[in-house]
Amino acid sequence: MDRLLRWVETRPDEWQQTVATVQQQDCLIIGRSAQALATHPQALQQTEQIINTLFSHLLDQTVDLGGGSRGYNRQAVEYLLAHSTPGPWADAQWPMLLHQAGFRLNYQAVDGLDWESADRHRAQAADAELQRTLAAAYNADPKHWTRRVQIALEIIQAGLAATEEKNK
């Protein structure tokens, strides 16, 4: 929810346009523009690039799954409820399931998905300088890199497991 709040606060027009686009799609994968991704710590950028490269290939289109933002129509949601397994990492699993089932997946990169974690415990969205400062501190802690590598692995495993289900 923090990502949504930042987006609405900093780029309300882009958010409203994206909401309107979602209503016309089976699945809209909402990713980060190059500008938005650049606000994130390198630990996130580099590990998520692995996820995005792999699943862009498998989905036959460039996507940013690491942004974690999606919009689904009712049929897609019903399909996912019936065919997905509960788990924490649906980032790649759900798009893969929908792709394999023939749903239309579209992609839109937005500026409004810049790094929201810098906003925590603040009355308003962090500015670019504070984002850079906090991103540098995040990158300096090896535990963050370790955790992000583990998350990337889990997302990839869940997404690939979805492709294996179809092949059984």
Position 168 pLDDT exceeds 70: no
What is the model's pTM? 0.91
pLDDT in tens, 84-109: 987 778 899 999 999 999 999 999 99
Mean pLDDT of all residues belonging to the chain: 93
161 close to 93: Cβ distance less than 8 angstroms: yes
pLDDT tens profile 54-72? 999 999 999 999 888 999 9
Residue 143: what are its φ and ψ, rounded to 5°? -65, -35
Per-residue pLDDT at 165: 66
How far is Cα 16 from Cα 87, in angstroms, rounded to an integer? Answer: 30
Find the distance separating the first CA and the last CA of the chain, reported in whole Å.
Answer: 36
Tell me the three state secondary structure of residue 167.
helix
Q: Where are the domains of the chain?
A: 2-167
Looking at residue 142, its pLDDT comes to 98
Across residues 17-28, what is the average pLDDT?
A: 96
Residue 84 has what DSSP assignment?
-
Rounded distance between C-alpha atoms, residue 42 and residue 95, angstroms: 25
